[in-house]
Amino acid sequence: MRPFPWHAEALERLMGDRGKLPHALLVHGAAGIGKTQFARALAAAALCEAPVRGLACGECPSCRWLAQGNHPDFREIVPEAAEEEEDAPEGEGAKAEKAKSLVIKIDQIRAVEDFIALTTHRGGYRVLLVHPAEALHPAAANALLKTLEEPPPGTLIVLVSDRPARLLATLRSRCRLLALPLPSQDAAIAWLREQGVEDPGAALATAGGAPLLAQRLAEPEEAQFRRRLLAELARPGGADALQFAATIDRGAVERLVFWLQTWVQDLVRVRLAGKPRHHAALGAALESRARASNLDALFALDGELASARALASHPLNPRLLAEHLLMAYNRATSAPKP
Ligand SMILES: [Zn+2]
């Protein structure tokens, strides 16, 4: 298990002195840069029985168990819904999906209390990885806090978060913070090209420099959704809010909010005589919609979209949220000329 190339140095530095590893680490940084992979590579390095330059060797019993997903001194906690995304076969019923939790529950934290308290199987570290940490239910965060107060020696708890400000302050303050940077543009583009992403420069710009996000946004299904939504947003009379919202389920609402926000931000830029950042290829449509827009209303909508991004990862009525946001967009972009 290796970190992405642009984070290798940060991991080597961290593992350079094992004796100084904290018992709790909060890995944070922009979404889509490879934080979880970094955290798993960190776990592998800490558990490895024959580390090479501080990193996992990939060959010892510990590295093999970890690769097979059955290392006795490693646990990973994610929301149930994320487990399903990774493990379940396609075509799982929508009802079953709805029942899965998007938060990390207190039971999940309680279930690892023994793991933390008992002696380790291999006599080395025990590693608990929790991600995304902002998904911790407050009760779960409090339970984890107790564990962080007096962890037994050899404990390494790694929290991963895009939005560390949303964690309990007391939880945050018990962790050492590690900010992971965006990769350089060259490194990100080289990696995207290796993954077969067409036009990696444009994909990276759309994703604000985050390569994993760029890769995801460039997937055919995502590209199709984006085209469909942007065509709707570019219409001179505004989007057909009701009809479009009827196609939005829980899986799509987060993407809707994401793309709508990139579009609104580009409208603001064009309105302020700047260049679009995300959708340069749709310059003419942006110009035309920007001319009909009310700048204050666009700012207000951008703020509302930021809050909606936080909400969109929680269970709610996705269709109503989509309707509401598209109608707010229509109002913001159909302002009478002053
Ligand atoms: Zn190893």
For residue 314, the model assigns a pLDDT of 59
Confidence of residue 285 (pLDDT cuts 50, 70, 90): very high
How far, in Å, from the CA of 277 to the mean position of ligand 1?
43
Confidence of residue 311 (pLDDT cuts 50, 70, 90): low
Confidence of residue 126 (pLDDT cuts 50, 70, 90): very high
How far, in Å, from the CA of 200 to the mean position of ligand 1?
34
Of residues 274 and 109, more confidently modeled: 109
Confidence of residue 34 (pLDDT cuts 50, 70, 90): very high
Range from 77-86, 94-103, 156-165, 190-199 carrying the lowest mean pLDDT: 94-103
Confidence of residue 51 (pLDDT cuts 50, 70, 90): very high
How far, in Å, from the CA of 3 to the mean position of ligand 1?
15
For residue 100, the model assigns a pLDDT of 64
How far, in Å, from the CA of 12 to the mean position of ligand 1?
15
Confidence of residue 12 (pLDDT cuts 50, 70, 90): very high
How far, in Å, from the CA of 132 to the mean position of ligand 1?
26
HEC string of the chain? CCCCHHHHHHHHHHHCCHHHCCCEEEEECCCCCCHHHHHHHHHHHHHCCCCECCECCCCCHHHHHHHHCCCCCEEEECCHHHHHHHHCCCCCCHHHHHHCCCCECHHHHHCCHHHHHCCCCCCCCEEEEECCHHHECHHHHHHHHHHHHCCCCCEEEEEEECCHHHCCHHHHHCCEEEECCCCCHHHHHHHHHHCCCCCHHHHHHHCCCCHHHHHHHCCHHHHHHHHHHHHHHHCCCCCCHHHHHCCCCHHHHHHHHHHHHHHHHHHHHHHCCCCCCCCHHHHHHHHHHHHCCCHHHHHHHHHHHHHHHHHCCCCCCHHHHHHHHHHHHHHHCCCCCC
For residue 182, the model assigns a pLDDT of 94
Confidence of residue 336 (pLDDT cuts 50, 70, 90): low
How far, in Å, from the CA of 110 to the mean position of ligand 1?
29
How far, in Å, from the CA of 1 to the mean position of ligand 1?
10
For residue 96, the model assigns a pLDDT of 44
How far, in Å, from the CA of 65 to the mean position of ligand 1?
10
| Mean local confidence (pLDDT), 186-214 | 91
Q: How far apart are CA 212 and CA 210, in angstroms?
A: 6
For residue 48, the model assigns a pLDDT of 95
How far, in Å, from the CA of 157 to the mean position of ligand 1?
19
How far, in Å, from the CA of 43 to the mean position of ligand 1?
11
How far, in Å, from the CA of 58 to the mean position of ligand 1?
5
CB-based burial, 319-337: b 16+ in 10 Å, e otherwise? bebbbebbebbbebbeeee
How far, in Å, from the CA of 66 to the mean position of ligand 1?
9
How far, in Å, from the CA of 167 to the mean position of ligand 1?
33
How far, in Å, from the CA of 63 to the mean position of ligand 1?
4
